[in-house]
Chain A
Amino acid sequence: MSDNTNKTANTAGWRGALSGPLEAVRTHWDRAPGWERWAVYVLLIIGALFLPYEGLAPVMSPESAWSTILFYPIGIYVLLALGLNVVIGYAGMLDLGYVAFWAIGAYTMATMAVKHGIGFWPLLPCGIVLAAVSGVILGAPTLRLRGDYLAIVTLGFGEIVRKVAENTNWLGGTRGINNIPHPPSHEGVWFAGVDLFTYKIRDARPYYYLLVAVIVLVVIFSKRLEASRIGRSWTAIREDEDAAEIMGVPTFKFKLLSFATGAAIGGAAGVVFAAKTSYVAPANFPFLLSATILAAVVLGGAGNIPGVIVGAFLVAWLPERFRGLADYRDLAFGAILVAMMIFRPEGLIPSRQRKAEMAEGGGGMGHMGAEIDTSGSEAEVGSR
């Protein structure tokens, strides 16, 4: 174990300061027995349940209500980042219009609940399915294309969804839709001073717990997917799509599946969001948010769930904690994205496999300009 750590520290140079201990934890984790892993999982969930504790509020968020911040942006960003991670981290496709699926989920909740009086629980699966279907509709024509075309088309799609919401009176136009009903309450189930299933306007904590439940389900779902045949196909597609196709992986089908899965998670986040805020408008879904979620995934480490969660938490929490810097938030995100790609493309807490791919220069969509890098090794030349 110590051998491994030393080697990493040496090869990584100054970055070893972070990678060294991280790798040690990693190696330990890989060899940890089942009971230890379960203990950690349970501790993490308990930690999440006690996160809204009032004593933390002055430290974590002195300027705004801590439990509100925990729901949005932190919780929602984590959920969205987990969804985008399926598309970017697993299948290696760049989706720049990801908020569109979030918007579709939110608008499903808004229109159906306000106009037809349908409740939150039936609408949750509806929003998920509708977002997944729109993912398929967008993906079907575009996923046959090269990755960077996909990026631009998804960007266009994000704008189409926003513009349609702005221009359609039935969807409330630019004013949006308000008075969206909260989920039905069941009073009297108390936990740590919170009436768990009482969804009212004041207390954000029940919504936060709802979100934690969704996040835990999504994490389990992603983990199982990653370990399945589907996950292995995604990895194969990410590393080399042509080779995957030749080896018999139906790449188009699996790319579409990844796109739809990511969209479905976005849709779930949308329904929960609309039910909490009781108000949605096109202005809630700008391109900047897609870029922010992308920054979260890349910063944390695409393809690695703990990394993605930490990345999303940092991206959501830091600007709320340091309000004075909020103006420069997106400026910093832009600079961070460039710097990360140059110095640490695998992210803060990378997936090991992903890191190895990045070191080889692969890891999605092939090399850029490797063929014209005069200092490049022979293996890289002509790999286009």
Chain B
Amino acid sequence: MLHDFTSQFWANTVDGLTVGSIYALVALGYTMVYGVLRLINFAHSEIFMIGTFGGLTLIQVVGFDNGPYTGIALVGVLLACLVASMVASGGAALLLELVAYRPLRRKGASRLAALISAIGASLFLQELFATTVIPHFFGHGGGRDPIHVPDLMKKETLFSIGSGDVRNDKLLIFVAAIVMMIVLDRFVNASKLGRGIRATAQDPETAVLLGVNIDRVVVVTFVVGGLMAGAAGFFFALLYQQTMFNIGFILGIKAFTAAVLGGIGNLRGALVGGFTLGLIENYGGSIFGSEWKDVIAFTLLVVILLFRPTGILGESLQQARA
């Protein structure tokens, strides 16, 4: 047990950081919506799921399925699929806001109502894919079976750190996630819309008085969260070459755990939380057996909420400095 931990330490570190990047990108969506609306966007996991299908659509429609690609072609295909995933998820997040949340906000409904509406939307989207979208558009008879995503790139080890082989796709995911985080951090901290988001998170009433268009802020928050989840979805499909109608369920709870771990409402916390969760889960998996990974992650969630509900960084979107 402990021997596995030491001998596999670097391999688990590499895997943990890779999957942690995906958790972090999804966690951003939870954290941003929570920061602005004080609402856990339960259907965010389905936004991620739609992202995994975004790239696949392009692969099937345009015919990017005769990979693996190399050189410029690879860069082009990866970028195109990434954008397709982000657009699909961003659009879905926008629709979700307009259909499932906005009418409730207008009525000043209770949080319980919003949460139930979110669960309904989540169930609806999953089942829509299982019963309709997957059989009809992805030519897959069993809508509830896993779907293979064709290989886009040749996966090879670039270099090794101890027992950890750093593969090109894993490095790409890690670097891309960090770059996206930096861009998002700049957007929230330096742009005019970002200032609106922070103002709304801090004090919605005053923000309205000072001329912030709240509806637009909420829409932007959902869409940006959706774009990040879409990117995560594409990376997930690239890494595991597989997707499914309910792929977002477990990953969604884990990403939420990551958001809470880092400090919900805190953008940088999502990054820290994602990596921490990815590492703990993989280290724990090497000690107790990988079938216990999910249990480790969810137990961690209960433990953090018990001892430090504000998370590692604690500082939230409201208090972020200008």
Contacts and interface: CB of A to CB of B under 8 A. Distances in A.
A180 interface: no
B109 A159 contact: no
Contacts of B299: 160
B119 A167 contact: no
A145 B40 CA distance: 14
A152 B256 CA distance: 8
Contact of A342 (B103, B128, B214): B103
Interface in B25-76: 37-40, 42
Given A142-B305, A152-B256, A164 B295 contact: yes
A147 B40 CA distance: 10
Interface stretch (B84-92, B110-118, B146-154, B176-184): B110-118
Interface string B229-273: 000000000000000000001100100110010000000000000
A222 B41 CA distance: 32
Interface stretch (A67-75, A113-121, A356-364): A356-364
A371 B257 contact: no
Interface in A233-250: none
A94 B113 CA distance: 10
Q: Main secondary structure on chain A at its contact with chain B? A: helix
Given A157-B302, A372-B208, A334 B109 contact: no
Interface string B86-124: 000000000000011001111111111111110111111
Interface string A353-377: 0000110011111111111111110
Contact of A291 (B123, B131, B289): B123
Contacts of B114: 341, 368-369
A147 B112 CA distance: 8
Interface in A158-217: 159-160, 163-164, 166-167
A153 interface: yes
A235 B302 CA distance: 27
B111 A334 contact: no
Contact of B253 (A94, A155, A373): A155
Contacts of A287: 249
A368 B111 contact: yes
A341 B127 CA distance: 19
Q: Main secondary structure on chain B at its contact with chain A? A: helix
A34 interface: no
A151 B123 CA distance: 15
A145 B309 contact: yes
A358 B295 contact: no
Contacts of B99: 338
A372 B38 CA distance: 11
A373 B110 contact: no
A381 interface: yes
B298 interface: yes
A296 to B, nearest CB: 12
A92 B112 CA distance: 8
Contact of B110 (A159, A330, A358): A358
B164 interface: no
Contact of A370 (B108, B128, B309): B108
Most buried by B among A340, A341, A375, A382: A341
A148 interface: yes
A367 B123 contact: no
Given A164-B295, A333-B120, A334-B122, A382 B111 contact: no
A364 B305 CA distance: 21
A340 B112 CA distance: 12
Given A291-B119, A382-B205, A368 B104 contact: yes
B315 interface: no
Given A96-B119, A155-B253, A341-B116, A380 B108 contact: yes
A367 B110 contact: yes
A350 to B, nearest CB: 13
16 contacts: A147-B112, A147-B115, A149-B305, A152-B40, A159-B253, A160-B294, A167-B289, A288-B123, A291-B123, A330-B123, A342-B103, A361-B109, A364-B110, A366-B110, A370-B108, A372-B37
Interface of B: 37-40, 42, 99-100, 103-117, 119-128, 131, 200, 204-205, 207-208, 214, 218, 249-250, 253, 256-257, 260, 289, 291-292, 294-295, 298-299, 301-302, 305-306, 309
Interface of A: 88, 92, 94, 96, 138, 141-142, 145, 147-149, 151-153, 155-157, 159-160, 163-164, 166-167, 287-288, 291, 294-295, 298, 327-328, 330-331, 333-342, 345, 357-358, 361-376, 380-382, 384
